[in-house]
């Protein structure tokens, strides 16, 4: 490892960046160095901007991928090298707003019914019933399920924060069946036959995709859809935004308010202006002609 990379890693560690963030930022700088085949400290601001254009226009990376690259490069040059952010001259990033796709109740029933494996069934039901991120699902331990209080403890979720979310009676029944069959020791959902190793993100994602295919469901890319469904269905059931924010672990309530744009409770009660028009007489006139 070069001293420059180690310095960048140390700077991120001091700020307690998540491991995945550190990996992504290091990868962004490494990609820049590979592109020009030279040390990143020798690359000037015009070269950086040309590289970003290459990522956007030629490689056609997604908005999120480009934003991660910009953040990683900005951190490296401003914090590791001490360059003035204005001198770096990376243009401001525009955020892309994409509304989540939501499963109906019927689609969720099809999804869960497509799972014959009790372990897989319990994993996806837990994701939906508790509104968990995929990293939170694989991080659950047996002791995190509190049947006495009907709560699930989420340790060190996003932002390194603990929280509690709800444990439904239906989910508890499924988890008890799963426990009797698989006897997990430490991790609630362990990897293969190794009860002391937690499940991987890719495994959980693969289980979700296979269940979706069997159920004949096209929409809902990514298992994170189940978390979106949790929030939206609670909102439609009349649960207030503040409570949903706490259950989801959102730092800002404006993030939770996104679900107002996809809930049927709010949008379904709005009438189209076409429905307000009285066109019956006009139709009768046309029919007489």
Domains belonging to the chain, first-starting first, are: 3-88 (1.10.150.130), 105-227 (1.10.443.10)
User: Is it the case that residue 89 has pLDDT exceeding 80?
Assistant: no
Please give the Cα distance from 107 to 186 (Å, whole number): 32
Q: At 136, is the pLDDT very low, low, confident or very high (cuts 50, 70, 90)?
A: very high
pLDDT at residue 288, as a whole number = 57
Name the percent of the chain lying above pLDDT 90.
48
Report the pLDDT averaged over residues 61-80.
88
Cβ-contact 190, 203 below 8 angstroms: no
User: Is it the case that residue 166 has pLDDT exceeding 90?
Assistant: yes
Q: 232-286 pLDDT, tens per residue?
A: 898 888 888 899 889 988 888 887 787 777 676 555 555 567 665 665 555 555 5
pLDDT at residue 169, as a whole number = 93
Please give the Cα distance from 188 to 147 (Å, whole number): 14
Cβ-contact 124, 189 below 8 angstroms: no
Report the pLDDT averaged over residues 105-120.
94
**Residues with active-site annotation:** 133, 158, 224, 227, 250, 259
Q: At 151, is the pLDDT very low, low, confident or very high (cuts 50, 70, 90)?
A: very high
Cβ-contact 225, 132 below 8 angstroms: no
Give bridge partners of residue 124 from the DSSP assignment.
none
pTM of the model: 0.70
Average pLDDT of the chain, as a whole number: 85
pLDDT at residue 94, as a whole number = 63
């Amino acid at each position: 490892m070069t001293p420059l990379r180690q310095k960048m890693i140390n700077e991120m560690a001091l700020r307690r960046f998540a491991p995945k963030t550190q990996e992504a930022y290091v990868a962004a700088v490494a990609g820049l160095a590979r592109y020009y085949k030279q040390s990143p400290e020798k690359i000037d601001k015009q070269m950086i901007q040309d590289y970003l254009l290459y990522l956007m226009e030629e490689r056609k990376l997604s908005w999120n991928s480009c934003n991660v690259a910009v953040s990683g490069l900005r951190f490296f040059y401003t914090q590791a090298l001490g360059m003035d952010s204005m001198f770096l001259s990376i243009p401001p990033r525009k955020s892309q707003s994409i509304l989540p796709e939501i499963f109906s109740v019927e689609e969720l029933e099809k999804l869960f019914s497509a799972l014959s494996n009790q372990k897989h069934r319990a994993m996806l039901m837990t994701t939906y019933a508790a509104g968990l991120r995929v990293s939170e699902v694989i991080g659950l331990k047996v002791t995190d399920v509190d049947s006495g209080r009907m709560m699930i403890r989420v340790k060190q979720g996003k932002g390194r924060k603990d929280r509690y979310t709800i444990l439904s009676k239906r989910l508890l029944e499924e988890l008890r069946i799963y426990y009797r069959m698989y006897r997990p020791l430490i991790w609630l959902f362990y990897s293969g036959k190794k009860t002391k190793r937690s499940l991987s993100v890719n495994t959980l994602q693969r289980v979700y995709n296979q269940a979706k295919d069997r159920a004949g469901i096209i929409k809902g890319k990514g298992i994170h859809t189940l978390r979106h469904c949790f929030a939206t269905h609670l909102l439609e059931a009349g649960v207030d935004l503040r409570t949903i924010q706490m259950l989801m672990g959102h730092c800002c309530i404006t993030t939770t308010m996104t679900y107002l744009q996809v809930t049927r409770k709010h949008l379904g009660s709005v009438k189209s202006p076409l429905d307000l028009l009285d066109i019956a007489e006009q139709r009768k006139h046309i029919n007489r002609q």
